[in-house]
C-alpha cells in the first residue's frame, strides 16, 4: 500500500508548468459522474497489447476516437449512452489469418467505422448491458469489435463510494465461488489512494488524481483439473471535480495464465463537448435494446448485436449473477447436484482459453 501514498506527478495530458496543487477540502471530495440527457463527450482510446508464450511474442495495438451522447436516464438514474466509433487504427498480427494485414485492417475499418454502441453507465461509472459481437462477423472482425468494446468500457473508472480526504486511501476485497469446488473461485483486492488535487490554469479545470492497484486470482476447476489466471494492474486516474467526469485514465495490466503472459497498456482521454439537442429517448425508464450498427450500411447493412441475456453465458455482461450451480461461471455456495452424483460435471471447455484477447478487467 505504501507505493500508493506518494503524490505521483500528473499524467502526460497535463503540462506541469500549468498545474497548481490544491488543498483537499476538509470535508473530503466526492466523485460522481454527471451524465445528463443531451451531454456529449469526445474520447480518444489507445490499447497496446503484448503476448508472450514459450519464446514467441505477439504485438497488437488498437486506437479509435469516440463521440458519446447521453440518450436518457432510467428510473434509477443510470445513463443510457450511445457511443459512435471513428478513426479506427489497427496494427495486428493474427496467426493463420488468410489475408494481408492491410486487407484485414481495411476490411475491419469498413465494417466497424461509424458503428454506434449503446450501453448503460451508473453514476459511479460502472458499465453494464454491453452488447456482444453479432454472430455474422468473421473471427478476426469479431476480435476487433471485442477489443473496441473492451476499450470503450475500460474507458470508465468506477469511483469510490465514500468521500476521499487528503491522503485518503481505500481498500476492498471480494471472494466469490467455492475454493476447490467445480466452477470459478475468484479472489480480488483493490487498493487506492487520492494522490492529490490540481488545477490546470491553462485549460481552466480542476481534477483529483487517484492511484489504484488491483490484484486478482481466478481459478477454474473442472473434472479435468484446474487452471489459474493472475491479473496485476496499476491505474492512474484524473477526474474532473468541476464538470464531474473522467478526464483521463492510464493503466498497465499483466495477465498470467500458465506459460502465457499478456501485458496491456491502456490510455483513455475525454473532453466534454457541447450539449446535444437530441431529445432523451427513455421516456418512462424503458431503454431501447443495446445495439451496434455498421458504418457502411450500403456494403454491410445495419449490423445487429446479439443480445446475451443468460448470466451463465461466457459472453454475458451485466449486473446479474449466474444462478446455475452446475455452470462453470457459477460463483455461489450451492453445490451442483449433477456433478456430485456423477451425472454431469462442469465442462472442461468452460476453462479460459489461452489466447491474446486478455480483458482489461
**pLDDT tens digit string along 308-322?**
567 777 655 555 677
| Helix, strand, coil shares, percent, the chain, to 5 | 10, 40, 45
Please give the residue range of the domain that contains residue 52. 33-158+277-307
Cell triple for residue 3?
Answer: 507505493
Q: How many domains does the chain have?
A: 1
Would 303 be classed as within a structural domain? Answer: yes
Q: What angle do CA 87, 154, 8 make, to 5 degrees?
A: 105
Alpha-carbon distance values, 345 to 134, 177, 316, 351 (Å): 30, 16, 21, 13
Would 206 be classed as within a structural domain? Answer: no
Closest CA to 335 of 350, 325, 321: 325
Would 322 be classed as within a structural domain? Answer: no
Would 118 be classed as within a structural domain? Answer: yes
- Distance between CA 20 and CA 311 in Å, rounded? 47
Would 68 be classed as within a structural domain? Answer: yes
Q: What's the pLDDT tens digit per position in 180-223? A: 788 888 999 999 999 999 999 888 999 999 999 999 999 988 88
Residue 286 binned pLDDT confidence (cut-offs 50, 70, 90)? very low
Is the model's pTM score more than 0.85?
no
Which residues have C-beta within 8 Å of that of residue 98, sequence separation ≥ 6? none
Q: Do residues 111 and 103 touch, judged by C-beta distance below 8 A? A: no
Average pLDDT estimate for 341-360? 40
Q: Do residues 233 and 260 touch, judged by C-beta distance below 8 A? A: no
Would 8 be classed as within a structural domain? Answer: no
Would 229 be classed as within a structural domain? Answer: no
Would 171 be classed as within a structural domain? Answer: no
Amino acid at each position: 500500500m505504501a507505493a500508493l501514498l506518494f503524490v505521483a506527478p500528473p499524467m502526460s495530458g497535463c503540462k506541469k508548468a500549468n498545474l497548481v496543487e490544491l488543498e483537499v477540502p476538509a470535508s473530503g471530495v466526492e466523485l460522481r459522474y454527471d451524465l445528463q440527457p443531451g451531454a456529449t463527450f469526445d474520447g480518444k482510446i489507445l490499447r497496446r497489447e503484448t503476448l508472450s508464450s514459450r519464446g514467441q511474442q505477439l504485438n497488437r495495438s488498437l486506437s479509435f476516437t469516440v463521440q458519446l451522447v447521453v440518450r436518457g436516464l432510467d428510473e434509477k438514474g443510470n445513463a443510457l449512452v450511445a457511443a459512435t466509433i471513428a478513426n479506427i487504427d489497427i496494427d495486428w498480427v493474427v496467426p493463420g489469418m488468410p489475408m494481408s494485414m492491410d486487407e484485414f485492417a481495411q476490411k475491419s475499418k469498413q465494417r466497424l467505422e461509424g458503428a454506434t454502441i449503446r450501453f448503460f453507465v451508473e453514476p459511479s461509472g460502472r458499465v453494464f448491458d454491453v452488447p456482444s459481437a453479432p454472430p455474422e462477423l468473421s473471427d478476426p472482425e469479431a476480435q476487433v469489435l471485442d477489443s473496441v468494446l473492451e476499450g470503450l468500457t475500460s474507458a470508465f473508472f468506477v469511483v469510490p463510494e465514500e468521500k476521499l480526504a487528503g491522503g485518503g486511501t481505500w481498500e476492498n476485497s471480494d471472494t466469490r465461488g467455492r475454493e476447490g469446488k467445480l466452477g470459478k473461485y475468484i479472489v480480488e483486492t483493490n487498493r487506492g489512494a487520492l494522490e492529490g488535487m490540481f488545477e490546470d490554469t491553462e485549460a481552466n479545470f480542476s481534477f483529483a488524481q487517484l492511484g489504484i492497484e488491483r490484484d486478482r486470482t481466478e481459478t477454474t476447476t473442472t473434472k479435468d483439473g484446474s487452471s489459474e489466471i493472475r491479473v496485476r494492474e496499476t491505474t492512474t486516474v484524473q477526474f474532473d471535480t468541476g464538470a464531474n467526469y473522467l478526464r483521463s485514465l492510464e493503466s498497465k495490466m499483466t495477465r498470467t495464465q500458465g506459460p502465457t503472459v499478456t501485458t496491456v497498456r491502456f490510455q483513455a482521454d475525454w473532453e466534454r463537448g457541447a450539449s446535444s439537442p437530441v431529445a432523451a429517448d427513455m421516456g418512462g425508464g424503458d431503454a431501447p435494446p443495446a445495439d451496434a450498427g455498421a458504418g457502411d450500411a450500403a456494403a454491410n447493412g445495419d449490423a445487429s448485436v446479439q443480445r446475451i441475456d443468460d448470466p451463465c453465458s461466457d459472453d454475458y455482461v451485466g449486473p446479474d449473477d449466474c444462478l446455475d450451480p452446475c455452470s462453470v461461471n457459477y460463483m455461489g455456495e450451492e453445490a451442483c447436484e449433477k456433478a456430485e452424483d456423477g451425472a454431469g460435471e462442469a465442462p472442461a471447455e468452460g476453462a479460459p482459453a489461452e489466447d491474446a484477447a486478455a480483458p482489461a478487467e
